[in-house]
Amino acid sequence: MGEQNKQESGLAVPKKAGRDTARRIGVHLSTSGGVWTAVDRAREAGANTLQIFSSSPRTWRPTSIAPKDAEKLKSLRAEHDIGPMAIHVSYLVNVCCQGDEVLQKSILGLRGEVERALALGAEYLVLHPGSFRGMTREQGMALAAESIARSIDGLPWQDAGLSILIENTCGAEFSLGGSFEQVGELVAVLKPVAPVAVCLDTCHTHVAGYDLISEEGYAETMRLIDQHIGFEAVRVWHCNDAKAARGSKLDRHQHIGEGTMGAEPFRRLLHDPRFAHAAFIAETPVDEPGDEARNVATLRALAAR
Ligand SMILES: [Zn+2]
Ligand SMILES: [Zn+2]
């Protein structure tokens, strides 16, 4: 797709029309140059919702966010009606880790994530439930709940409008949340501790073995989501095509419509009235400049037909 077409598809997004019913479609964006710059990037990408990291996702060293940057982000979001905003928790955080040192770092790390999410006025904090290697799944689940409770203890959480979203994983051994059933169990365990809901990732769902592609498979996958999680609890769909085969348990994201899933599952999800309340956020690769806008445009086009 040429630069001109990218521009046009970005501009084709209806500005205000149907604000209440229009799908919230966005992409994970960089905050390079200041956290608020992500809102500008969202607008450039034709997105009306976004996800960011609030700190480097691969180091334990936390970034502090200047209050004026947080205010600028909030006012830009309000001005341009960009939301909800999700923050993805650092990949290093593992709230059900058997090793004490990493567990302590994870609890402090998650606490920092929650503090920054509160400061930035984010709606969602997306968390991978972690790896329980060395324990039973039940022990891992209990430890995750305890660690999250410790992370948020004493923070001004009430009425902040922030929820932790448990993301389903690709079903690898020892990783918590590889099935809808596990995600549902975890949410039930965490409910008394924190405001929790769910983020489902299309790529993770597909490589975990669920069928989103065939019509009957999609219906069955939806039945399982309803049974174990509930449609209402799904606040975000991470929209990623997959490089690996269904059931492979390999987490490699691909551009929408260009992977082993193809465009059809995304078209179905975007038109599914049971997810009318959800935000659709791509975490697709950035192989060349403009790829964020290209994937948003693809999702918008699928939502429109
Ligand atoms: Zn994801
Ligand atoms: Zn992934």
Q: Find the CATH number of the domain harbouring 112.
A: 3.20.20.150
Q: Give distance in angstroms: CA of 198 to centre of ligand 1.
A: 11
In a domain? residue 12: no
109 lies in some domain: yes
Q: Give pLDDT tens digits for 230-274.
A: 999 999 999 999 999 999 999 999 999 999 999 999 999 999 999
pLDDT at site 156: 86
**What separation in Å is there between the alpha carbon of 202 and the centre of ligand 2?**
9
Cα–ligand 1 centroid distance for 93 (angstroms) = 15
Give the closest ligand to the alpha carbon of residue 171.
2
Q: Ligand 2 centroid vs 252 CA: distance in angstroms?
A: 6
> Quick one: which ligand is closest to 206's CA?
2
Is residue 62, in this structure, part of any structural domain at all?
A: yes
Alpha helix positions (H), the chain = 3-11, 37-44, 67-80, 100-120, 137-152, 180-190, 202-207, 215-228, 264-271, 291-304
Ligand number with the minimum distance to the CA of 165? 1
Ligand nearest the Cα atom of residue 280: 1
The verdict on residue 5 lying in a domain is: no
Q: Are 274 and 222 in contact (CB under 8 A)?
A: yes
- What's residue 295's pLDDT? 98
Q: 165 and 127 in contact (C-beta within 8 Å)?
A: yes
CB atoms within 10 A of CB 99: 12
Residue 13 counted as domain residue: no
Please write the tens of the pLDDT for every residue from 68-120.
999 999 999 999 999 999 999 999 999 999 899 999 999 999 999 999 999 99
- The Å distance, Cα 5 to ligand 2 centre, comes to 28
Tell me which of 1-15, 20-34, 164-178 is least confident: 1-15
Residue 154 placed within a domain? yes
pTM over 0.85: yes
Residue 179 CA to ligand 1 centre (angstroms)? 14
Ligand nearest to C-alpha 204: 2
Please report the pLDDT score of residue 220 as a whole number. Answer: 98
Residues of the chain above pLDDT 90, percent = 83
User: Looking at residue 181, what is its pLDDT?
Assistant: 96
Q: How many domains does the chain have?
A: 1
**Separation of 100 CA from ligand 2 center, angstroms?**
26
Section 54-77 average pLDDT: 92
The whole-chain average pLDDT of the chain stands at 91
Spell out which residues have Cβ within 5 A of ligand 1, the ion: 201, 238, 283
CA of 240 to the centre of ligand 2 (A): 8
Which residues are close to ligand 2, an ion, with C-beta < 5 A? Answer: 251
Measured in Å, residue 178 CA sits from the centre of ligand 1 at: 12
Domain of 101, in residue numbers = 21-304
The region of weakest confidence among 23-27, 58-62, 300-304 is 58-62
Contact 51/85 with Cβ under 8 angstroms?
yes
Q: Cα of 9 to ligand 2 centre, how many Å? A: 26
Give CA–CA dist 28/236, Å, rounded. 12
Tell me, yes or no, whether 119 lies in a domain. yes
Interval between CA 193 and ligand 2 midpoint (Å): 26
Q: How far is the CA of 81 from the centre of ligand 2 (A)?
A: 27
Whether 128 is covered by a domain: the verdict is yes
CB-CB contact of 181 with 144 (8 Å): no
**Which ligand minimizes its atom distance to the CA of 282?**
1
Joined together, the tokens standing for residue 195 give: 């405001």
User: Could you tell me the distance, in angstroms and rounded to a whole number, from the CA of residue 254 to the centre of ligand 1?
Assistant: 12
197, two tokens: 């809901």
